[in-house]
Structures are given as structure tokens and as C-alpha cells.
Amino acid sequence: MLELATDPGVSSLMLSRIQFAANISFHILFPTINIALCWMLLFFKVRYATTGDDNWLRVYRFWVRIFALTFALGVVTGVTMSFQFGTNWPGFMETVGNIAGPLLGYEVLTAFFLEATFLPIMLFGIERVSDRTHTIATALVTLGTSTSAFWILSLDSWMQTPAGFEMRDGVAYVTDWWEVIFNPSMPYRLTHMLLASGLTAAFFVAGISAYRIYKGDPKHSAKLALKFAIITAAILAPLQIIVGDFHGLNTLKYQPAKVAAMEGIWETEKGAPLLLFAIPDEETRSNKYEIAIPNLASIILTHEMDGELQGVNDFPDAAPPVAPIFFSFRVMVGTGVLMLLTAGFGCWYFVRKNQYPPWLLKATIAMTFSGWVATLAGWYVTEIGRQPFLVSGVLRTADAATQIPSGNIALSLAMYLSIYFLLLVAYISTLFVMANRAIRLEVNNLHVSDMQTDPAAVNGGISEKQFNLEKQA
Amino acid sequence: MIFPEYDWLPLAFVSLMGLAFLIYAILDGYDLGVGVLLPRDNQAQRDSMIYSIGPFWDANETWLVMAIGLLLIAFPSAHSYILQGLYLPTAIMLAGLILRGVAFDFRTKAPSRFKQKWDLAFKLGSLLATLTQGYMLGRYVTGFEETNAALAFALLSAVCVTAGYCFIGSAWLVMKTEGELQIRAARWARYSNLLMALGIVAVSISNLLLSDIIMDKWLGFPQVFVLVPTGLLLGFLFLLNHLYLKRVPLENDLGCWVPFTSASIIFVLCFCGLAYNFFPYIVWQKITIWDAASSRESLWFIFVGAAIVLPVILAYTAFTYRVFRGKTRKLNY
């Protein structure tokens, strides 16, 4: 231990990994909501244009403000990400810069500028441009967020399952861009992520709309948003299970060590059981407290009773840490099951009974951020599962890290963590402040656009004085 | 051809990257400057100032991502060398950019009692970003030397860049606002105009003293015939600004765009001077652009895309500026 503590290389590596994990975990929360929320906003806008129903405009106006807030957080944390490659992972760019560089470059060229330029028209342009131009701007921002996901997922998939390149003097050179971009795991990973975004946004919209109804929002628009979000979730959840299964098979083919860790299989075996619960132990290289269903892992992954699955021990020096992957995978699947149940019940009550019972309302509020939990857990499975490599079989994480003194990294890490903590608290509390404000607007029968023009409305449909009185009371 | 034996692609990319940094300095320069100038004593003026940059700041900041992205794509080894050399100021700059980027949205959405705190975060975040950017520029120009002279130069550069951003920021406000705020902005612009002029003279002299190579580059023949008129043009622009800003507002707001336009020209001239100093290095006296360039296939792949997409980006950027043209109004949504 003493050696570890005094070796600057090792602690710089650890701190860099923690910092990158913290940055990317915090960053991904916001695009995950916004990729799909933008499609939903486009849907609301088009529905309003085709039906003329004012409720759709109310839904649009409420959610576009939340979209803007989420977008701002995504932008600032994304700018931070773009610097991390150079500051903390110089070996990454020096080894695979020929591939990662252009993919990231195309993201900036085709996505960032599009989003950043048309978002203001989407937000503030409603009085300055025609309705059609405004809808087009919304569509372009949607296109931008999804294009951004395309390039990032392409790069991440390439790091998982690299293809279309050759190594010369320790540097990767591209032989075929098509193979680089559409590498073997890319279609599965992209679809899985887009559906994850859809589910995250659906539960986010459903949760906050349920909160509004629960707190006594009298208007139809909150119920409309809830119904839309729950039906969307009920469609996407089963789809995600199917796509997740395909993605798993793809991973088994290209990254068997990751699947072994996900399933908690140490020794290669035939007819492997599905572990519902266990505590994997790296010391003894075995599991404690197993609760298992015999043969099920083999059936799911090989579609045969006695299908052979490789164990972690088959990959000396190239196996990821088992416990974090094992648990993250179960958190992801568990949250997914809860999502399926909530959406299923919700859909049934809406379609069959045309009502939404109070217990389900509370459950939906509890599920507001379930998408974040599932998405983060899923990313931990896939990213930790690639260890000890940064690019599978090409570049080890340890070889890419910076040589900067660990004190500097510790300092920046502490700074990032405190800012992120502050922002997360501010973000979540502001969401509910905005929801409460919207309720007060609806109670007082003001239009959503009054939220800014009417000075009283800024404090939620009542004047500052009343607001303070209310607080004292 | 000056370097006939070299590939032209790295040259194209260093030009593109330079262009991206220049556009960034002008565009994010004005909105950072507006952030730094936010007054403590007047909520209405703070609101107007933030409305004036609201539709633009995000796209402006994207040019930084673009410039750093181009450095990363085209010159990966220089990218890691530079960013590791600037580790802490980069982290602090990012903290500043995070603070101001979110403060813009939170200030109107969080409970109103927090509004002033977010405004302060906006101002402090902007100030952190401008100071660290200036400091980084100074460190970069001196090739990351650790001498006292080099560090003092970096500190001087931090102050000068901040003054420059304040100048272009207040020039933006002169163009986009009216009434009391416009007059106030003209006063800010006059002070920062003087400060920037002093800064440019100071930086130029210390630059010449720092290195013989730069001295030869500027004071030899026939370069001196470019240097003298450039200096005269700069002097003319500073004087023009000074005289104009004293008289703001003119009847019908005549020439309200003059300070902003001349600020942009000053930025371009300073930038060209810097680029001329540096060429052909990407890390001063250590790495040339040809040493650091990526593989030809990768550069070609992104070059084709950039050649197609960049004009489109410039076109729709112009479109946004057109949509939000004229004096600033309240932002409703």
C-alpha cells in the first residue's frame, strides 16, 4: 500500500479515472433527458399545429423551459468533457487520435453548432419568426441532439469493438472509415442508448406531470402530458428489453469477459445459472450468498440449455473488476422491470378506466429519475466492463493517463465535485419550483407566457408581498 | 511556396484552428465582457445586459469547443502537451464557464430570492474565464517557461485580455442597448479602450524583449513596412473609438456599430501579429505544425466535412443574428 501511495503514476491514474467517471456521469444526466425530450417537444408542437388544441401549447411551453435548463447543464458539462481528453488522457489522443479526433470533430461540426444556434430561436424566437420557422428550428435542434448521440456512440462503440484500422509504430491509422463508424457493436449500442433516452425522458415527464396533478393542478394539460409520457414508456420499455437482449448477444460475441462479469461467472461452465443475487469476491474469485435459477443464463445468452459460457478466469490480465459490473447490471435490469410495471399499470388504467389512481400517481412521482438510475448503471456496466482497456485490445487505460502531479488532479477533482453537487441540488429543486409555479399559474388562470411578462407571475401568479405572507403563514 | 517540401493539410488546419480561435475571441469575447461588466447596483440594467447576449452566448462558446477540437484532431501531440501544461488554469476556466453558463438559466427559473446570487455567479464565472484565458495565452506565448519574467508576462496578459473582452463587451452594449445603459456602456468602453491600448503596447514591447527571434521577425526588412502602417491603423482605431464614445448617443444613434466593428478589427490585427510571431510553431520553439500533425487520411476525412459544413454554420449563425437584430428586447418564452 505504501508503494501505491508514494507512486505518483498510480495515484494520478486513479484520480484521473475518478475525475473522468464523475464528469461523464454528471454530463450524461442531461443529454439523456434532452435527446428524447426534444423529440417530444417537436411532437407537442406538431400536435398543436394540427389539432389547434391549446393544451398542447401549454405542455410545449412548460417543457421547453425545462429543456432549456437541462440543455444549459449539458452544454457546460460537455465543454468540460472536451478538455478532459487532453488534460487527463494524453495517451488516448496520441494513440488513437487519428480516429477519435475526426469523430469528435464531426460531432462539433454537425451537431453542436446546430443545437446551439437554433435553440435560441426555439426558445425566444416565437414572436420574431413565423410559426413554421419556429417548428423547423425545433426540428433542427432535435436533429442536432440525435446526431450528437450518433457520433458519441460511434466513438464509444469503436473503443469497445474497434474495427477498420491498423497499428503502425503504436499509433492507430484508419483503413476504412465506414468500418470505424459502423463498427460491430455500434448499431446495438446506439439503439439501446436512444431507447434509454426515450424511457428517461418519458418517466421524467410523467413524474413531474404526476407531481403537478398530485399537488392539485386543475388543468387538463398536466394530465395530457402524463398520459402521453406513460403511453410512450409502455411502448418503449418492452422494446428496450428486446434490444437489450440483442445487445447482450453482441457483447457475448465481441467482449465475453464483460458478459462473464455481468453474470458473475468465474469458471467456464455449461448450463450456467442466472444469478438473481450474489456477492462476487475478487480475493477468492468466487461468489457468496448466491440465489440462482439453474441454466437460465445459458438459455438467455446461447439459447441452449447447456450452452457454454466463458468465465472471468479465462481472461488473465484482461478481465474487468467483477463486483461493480455485476451489481450495476442488476440495478439496470431491476430499474427496467420497475419501469415496465409502472408504465404497464399506467397504460392499463388510462386506456381501460380513463383514470389514474392515487397510489399509481405516487409511484410515478417516485419514478421521476428512474431513467437516470438505469442509464448510469448501464453505462457503468459497459464502461467498467471494458477495463483494463481504454480501447479494447489496443490501449490500456493505465498507458493513457496523464503524468501531471496527483495534487493538481486532486484539486481540480474537489472543485468539480463541489460544483456538480451544487448544480444537481439546484437543478432538481428548480424543477419542482417550476412545477409549483406552473400550478399557481393554472390556478390563477394565467397563460404560461405570463410567467415572464406579468411581474406578479414571476413569483408564481401572486405578488412578492403575498408570496412572503404565504411563506410566513 | 515558402515550404514546398511540406504537406499543405496541416497548414490548412492551423489556419482553420486560428480562425476558430479568432471567431471565439470576438464572439465569446463580447459576451464574457458583458458578464464581467454586470453592475452590482442596478437589476434592470443587469437584466437588459443578459438579454442582449441571451440568444448568442451558447453558439459563441461552441467556437471554443471547435478550436480545441481542431487542435485535438489535427495536432494531437501538441494538444496533450499544451493542455497538460495548462492543467490548473484550464480547470479554473472550465469552472468559470460552468458557473456562468448555468447562471444564465437559473437566474430566471430558481426562486426569485436567489436571482442576485446567480447574477453574481454569472459575473464571477465570466471574470474567472477571462482572467484564466489571458493567463493561458501568456503561458502559451512564452512556451510554458517557468521563469519569473514569463510568469509576470502571463499575469500581464491576463489583465490585458480581460480589458480587451470588457472593451468588446461594452462596444456590443453600445450597439445593442439604449438610454442610460448605453451611456454607461460608452463610459466603460472608453476606459477599457485606454486600458487595452496600454496593454497592447506593453505586450508588444515585452514580447520583443522576451525573444531575439521575434525581434528579428518584426524589425528586419521588409517587414518593417508592414509593421508601421499596422501600428498607425491601430492608433487610428483607438483614437476613433475614444472620440466617438465621448459623444454617445449621437442623433438617431448614428454609428452605434463603430466601436464594435473597430474592436473586431483590433482583435483581428492583434491575432494576425500573434500568428506571425508563432509560425511555424504550434508549441513555441518546441513543436512545429508539421511535427504535430495527424495522419493525412484523418485530416483529409475531416477537411472534406469541414469544407462543406462550415459555410452552412456561418450561414445559419448569420440567420440568428438577423432574427435577433436591432436593439435588445426582453426575452420571452
Size of interface A-B (CB pairs under 8 A): 222
Position A362 scores a pLDDT of: 92
pLDDT over threshold 80, residue B167: yes
- A102 vs B87, B302, B332: nearest CB: B302
Residues 245-274 of B with CB under 8 A from A: none
Residue A462: all three cell numbers together = 401572486
B247 to chain A nearest CA, in Å? 32
Res. A408 pLDDT band, cuts 50 70 90: confident
User: Which residues from chain A sit within 8 angstroms of residue B102, using beta carbons?
Assistant: 72-73, 76, 423, 426
Cβ of A68 and B105 within 8 Å? yes
DSSP state, residue B224: H
Give the mean pLDDT of chain A: 86
Contact at 8 Å (CB) between A356 and A346? Answer: yes
List pLDDT tens digits, range A215-250: 887 778 888 899 999 999 999 999 999 999 899 889
Give the mean pLDDT of chain B: 88
CA closest to A112 among chain B residues: B62
Strands A274-281 and A395-396: unpaired
Closest CA to A105 of A52, A152, A73: A152
pTM of the model: 0.88
- Report the sign of the C-alpha dihedral through residues A310, A311, A317, A320, in that order: positive
Cβ of B83 and A120 within 8 Å? no
- B72 vs A86, A408, A453: nearest CB: A86
Tell me the backbone φ, ψ of residue A285, rounded to 5 degrees: 50, 55
Burial label, B86 (beta-carbon count in 10 A; 0-12, 13-18, 19+): buried
Contact at 8 Å (CB) between A83 and B68? Answer: yes
Q: Averaged over A286-292, what is the pLDDT?
A: 84
| CB proximity B315 to A under 8 Å | no
- Report the sign of the C-alpha dihedral through residues A79, A153, B55, A202, in that order: negative
User: Which residues from chain B sit within 8 angstroms of residue A429, using beta carbons?
Assistant: 110
List pLDDT tens digits, range B189-238: 999 999 989 988 888 888 777 777 777 777 777 777 778 888 899 999 99
Q: Which amino acid type is present at position A403?
A: Q
Q: Averaged over A397-409, what is the pLDDT?
A: 84
Contact at 8 Å (CB) between B119 and B46? Answer: yes
- A79 vs B65, B76, B105: nearest CB: B65
Position A235 scores a pLDDT of: 95
Out of A48-57, A189-198, A320-329, the most confident range is A189-198
List pLDDT tens digits, range A5-32: 444 455 888 888 888 889 999 999 999 9
Give dist(CA A292, CA A332) in Å, integer. Answer: 18
Percentage of residues of chain B with pLDDT beyond 70: 98
Residue A244: all three cell numbers together = 437489450
Res. A447 pLDDT band, cuts 50 70 90: low
Contact at 8 Å (CB) between A389 and A395? Answer: yes
Contact at 8 Å (CB) between B164 and B171? Answer: no
Res. B150 pLDDT band, cuts 50 70 90: confident
User: Which residues from chain A sit within 8 angstroms of residue B95, using beta carbons?
Assistant: 415-416, 419
Cβ of B65 and A82 within 8 Å? yes
B165 to chain A nearest CA, in Å? 20
Tell me the backbone φ, ψ of residue A255, rounded to 5 degrees: -135, 65
B243 to chain A nearest CA, in Å? 35
Position A328 scores a pLDDT of: 93
Give dist(CA B47, CA A411) in Å, integer. Answer: 34
Give dist(CA A409, CA B264) in Å, integer. Answer: 37
User: Which residues from chain A sit within 8 angstroms of residue B108, using beta carbons?
Assistant: 452
Res. B5 pLDDT band, cuts 50 70 90: low
Give dist(CA B80, CA B75) in Å, integer. Answer: 9
Q: pLDDT: is B72 or A332 the higher one?
A: A332
pLDDT over threshold 60, residue A403: yes
Q: Averaged over B234-254, what is the pLDDT?
A: 88
List pLDDT tens digits, range B82-95: 888 888 899 999 99
Give dist(CA B29, CA B32) in Å, integer. Answer: 5
pLDDT over threshold 80, residue B1: no
A102 to chain B nearest CA, in Å? 6
List pLDDT tens digits, range A345-379: 999 888 888 788 889 999 999 999 999 999 999 99
List pLDDT tens digits, range A291-322: 888 888 888 888 888 888 888 888 888 888 88
Q: Out of A313-317, B55-59, B134-138, which region has the weakest mean confidence (pLDDT)?
A: A313-317
Contact at 8 Å (CB) between B21 and B68? Answer: no
pLDDT over threshold 90, residue B158: yes
Mutate: best of B122, B140, B291, B301, partner A, most A CBs <10 A: B301
DSSP state, residue B147: S
Contact at 8 Å (CB) between A146 and A194? Answer: yes
| CB proximity B301 to A under 8 Å | yes
User: Which residues from chain A sit within 8 angstroms of residue B76, using beta carbons?
Assistant: 93-94, 97-98, 101
Position B294 scores a pLDDT of: 82
B113 to chain A nearest CA, in Å? 10
Q: Out of A302-306, A381-385, B154-158, which region has the weakest mean confidence (pLDDT)?
A: A302-306
Task: Give the angle A139-A59-B322 at the CA atoms, nearest 5°.
Answer: 40
Strand, coil or helix: A387: coil
Give dist(CA A152, CA A173) in Å, integer. Answer: 19
Closest CA to B94 of B71, B68, B72: B68
Q: Out of A38-42, A360-364, A450-454, B261-265, which region has the weakest mean confidence (pLDDT)?
A: A450-454
Q: ipTM for the complex? A: 0.87
Cβ of B69 and A118 within 8 Å? no
- A117 vs B66, B305, B316: nearest CB: B316
Contact at 8 Å (CB) between A424 and A26? Answer: yes
Position A144 scores a pLDDT of: 94
Cβ of B106 and A93 within 8 Å? no
Q: Out of A281-285, A308-312, A418-422, which region has the weakest mean confidence (pLDDT)?
A: A281-285
